[in-house]
Amino acid sequence: MEKSDLSTCVAYAPSSTANIGPGYDVFGLGLDVFEDKVTLSRMSTRSNRITIRATGDTNNSSNMVPSKLESNSAGLVIKKMSNDFGIDYDLDVSISKGVPVGFGMGSSAASAAAAAIAFDRLFDLEIDKPKLVEYAAEGEIASAGVKHYDNVSASVLGGFVIVRTNPKLEVIRIEPPEDLVLVIAIPLIRVPEGKTEKARNLLPHKVPLSDVVVTLSNASMVVAGFILKDVEMIARGIHDIIVEPARRDLIPGYIGVKKNALEAGSLAVTISGAGPSMISFLKTAKYAKHVANAMAMGFNEANVKSRTYISRPSPGARITNPKVSKNEK
């Protein structure tokens, strides 16, 4: 029998930055600079087959989007949701990558988030947001080797998110200040396969209590800054003494980028997620271009080409066809 489309759903999910200094695996911020599009189509046949097609990643030529189900974040999400909801329709997952792959911009999370909300809508499941986040996190296993919820929460919900996983998953979303502007510098370096997993393996297993105290106070400043809509307070808290020192050597030009950005008017600079992108936090866009040039210069001084982007927080993932188009006649 010829396969035919019965129904299709199109979802978009934004890029994100995780950690935001002291909030390793806890803080995330949706960023409107890039987004992934996932088109999920249900076929008429029912043999539990999931086909992945990926196009794009036009921002970067070195990293490929895996089309094998087990290595693709959207594929893992769709597989898990199909199993859990007993859905045996053959599914076609078409991913159009807008988020650069492998640069700490929440690329795997964006595809996973879009896949989760597309699946939910396609099958009218009305899954609540925390559960959607949980499904989307399934996709992070493809790139990080484990589930982590910071990027997917930010991608699904948008805004600033705080993740708590123990004793159960809780995600709190806070609307960011309107004057928050982000400048992102992406170094055009070849990142190793499984970069996030490798960058996680570099981290210390034990840290001194004094470092925990510093980190807790910085993280509290970040949270308070988001609640009070105070960009300067957020920026004062963006100082990480545990994770960032363990990863900074992975980023050629790290010191220069940071120094240049701060001198050019950035209020805080940190590694975006597991890197290698660097992200600056600014109040208003006045110095944004200046900061972007300064960050690019920092990479340049280390003989690394880069691309810079100015971003605002994103409102989160969205569906473009709220009424699923059913072609079944």
Catalytic residue numbers read 140, 196
Cβ–Cβ < 8 Å for 298, 282: no
**Near ligand HSE by CB under 6 A: residue from 6, 14, 25, 231:** 25
Minimum CB separation from ligand HSE for residue 271, in Å?
8
Residue 40 is which amino acid? Answer: L
Q: Give the three-class secondary structure for 28.
A: strand
Buried-state track 292-315, b at ≥16 Cβ within 10 A, e below 16 = bbbbbbbbbebebebbbbbbbbbe
Strand ranges (E), the chain: 5-19, 23-43, 50-56, 91-97, 160-164, 170-174, 180-187, 268-271, 278-283, 306-311, 318-319, 325-326
Tell me which residue has its CB nearest to ligand HSE. Answer: 273
19 forms part of the interface with ligand HSE (CB under 6 A): yes
**Residue 150 in contact with ligand HSE, rule: CB under 6 A:** yes
Is 27 a residue that touches ligand HSE (CB under 6 A)?
A: no
Please select the residue that binds ligand HSE; options are 37, 80, 97, 148, rule is CB under 6 A. 148
Interface residue with ligand HSE, options 78, 163, 231, 274 (CB under 6 A): 274
CB contact at 8 A, 314 and 31: yes
Is position 151 an interface residue for ligand HSE (rule: CB under 6 A)?
A: yes
Q: Does 41 bind ligand HSE (CB under 6 A)?
A: no
Cβ 20 to ligand HSE, closest distance in Å? 10
> How many positions of this chain bind ligand HSE (CB under 6 A)?
13
Under rule CB under 6 A, residue 153 binds ligand HSE: no
Is 73 a binding residue for ligand HSE by CB under 6 A? The answer is no
* Contact characters 101-130, ligand HSE, x per CB under 6 A: ---x--------------------------
Q: Which residues in 211-270 contact ligand HSE (CB under 6 A)?
A: none
273 sits near ligand HSE (criterion: CB under 6 A): yes
The stretch among 36-44, 192-200, 219-227, 303-311 that binds ligand HSE (CB under 6 A) is 192-200
Name the residue nearer to ligand HSE (CB basis): 121 or 200.
Answer: 200
Shortest reach from residue 153's CB to ligand HSE, in Å: 11
Nearer to ligand HSE, 120 or 140 (CB): 140
The residue type found at 225 is: G
Min dist CB 240 to ligand HSE, Å, is 10
How many Cα atoms within 13 Å fall on the side-chain side of residue 270?
31
The answer to whether 11 and 114 are in contact (CB under 8 A) is: yes
Span interacting with ligand HSE, options 18-26, 155-163, 290-298, 319-327, rule CB under 6 A: 18-26
**In whole angstroms, what separates CA 232 from the centre of its chain?**
24
Beta bridge partners of 91: 42, 50
Long-range contact pairs involving 161-169 (C-beta distance under 8 Å, separation at least 24): 161/27, 161/28, 161/29, 161/30, 162/23, 162/26, 162/27, 162/223, 163/25, 163/26, 163/27, 163/28, 164/26, 169/130, 169/133, 169/134
User: Are residues 104 and 275 in contact, defined by beta-carbon separation less than 8 angstroms?
Assistant: yes
**Cβ at position 328, least distance to ligand HSE in Å:** 40
Strands 5-19 and 325-326, how do they pair?
Answer: antiparallel
Question: Strands 160-164, 170-174: parallel, antiparallel or unpaired by DSSP?
Answer: antiparallel
Q: Does 24 bind ligand HSE (CB under 6 A)?
A: yes
With binding defined as CB under 6 A, does residue 36 bind ligand HSE? no
Closer by beta carbon to ligand HSE, 24 or else 119: 24
Contact 247, 28 (CB under 8 A): no
Q: Would you tell me which residues interact with ligand HSE (CB under 6 A)?
A: 18-19, 24-25, 104, 148, 150-151, 196, 199-200, 273-274
